[in-house]
Structure 1
Amino acid sequence: MIEVVWERIKNCDGQVFRQVRGGEFTYHVRGNLIDLSRTKRHVSKKTFEHALEYVPLENTMPLQNLQAPSYLFAILMDDRIRKNDW
């Protein structure tokens, strides 16, 4: 499933996403990493693979042990990424 989701993530490179509290951000895909616009953090494809174990998500709590949980939540729960898969 990560390959399908990663392709969707790559296709949305540069588009605006919104965090739960309303913060807007974009990201740039660089190989197996994404660079986030509002922070100096990078999130790996492997981190997204781990996060997929918890979808669908109601909040960021299940992701707290992963890098950038609010960004993971915003990306994975966005309709452009989740489609009708979760």
Structure 2
Amino acid sequence: MDYDNFYIQNVGLIWEIIKLYEGEIFKTKTGVPFTYKAYTDYIIINETNQTIKKEYFKLACRFMPDLELKNIQKITRGPQYIYAILTSNKIKSNIESLEGSN
């Protein structure tokens, strides 16, 4: 695990990308659809009213680009949602654009 990787260095930009997609439909690994409302330091999953802190996304970024759900299940709250968001094509394509510009 590389703590100095691109994703950790750019977690603020990644968070801004996540905020851009609030209200969009995402699906968990098991296919359950969900949407979220984004705030400064957390998101709320609309369907469950679960709050997930930005800090948990930062923890998950340590495992990027090869994020696996099992890596974050014990260290984050709402791992199925974090995984779904960070590995979705919507988010990944924007992150890859950032990565290509560096």
Q: Which TM-score applies when normalising by structure 1?
A: 0.89
List alignment gaps of at least 5 residues for structure 1. Answer: none
Question: In the alignment, which residue of structure 2 is the partner of 1:22?
Answer: 31
Q: What amino acid does structure 1 have at the position aligned with 2:47?
A: R
Unaligned runs of 5+ in 2: 1-9
Instruction: Name 1:63's counterpart in structure 2.
Output: 72
What is the rounded CA distance, in whole Å, between the counterparts of 1:74 and 1:33 in structure 2?
Answer: 16
- What does the per-residue CA deviation read over 1:19-58, in whole Å, with 9 as the maximum and x for residues that have no partner? 111100000012211000221211111111111001222x
| Aligned alpha-carbon RMSD (Å) | 1.2
Runs of 4+ in 1 over 3 A off after TM superposition: none
| Correspondence for 1:72 | 82
Q: Distance in 2 between matches of 1:6 and 1:73?
A: 14
Higher alpha-carbon Rg: 2
In 2, Cα distance between the equivalents of 1:38 and 1:63? 21
Q: What one-letter code is carried by the residue in structure 1 that aligns with 2:36?
A: Y
Equivalent pairs: percent with the same residue? 27
Contact residue 19 and residue 73 of structure 1 kept, 8 A: yes
Q: Amino acid of the residue matched to residue 48 of structure 2?
A: T
TM-score normalized with structure 2 length: 0.76
Whose helix proportion is higher, 1 or 2?
2
- Match among 10, 13, 22 for residue 4 of structure 1: 13
Partner Cα separation in structure 1 for residue 19 and residue 39 of structure 2:
9
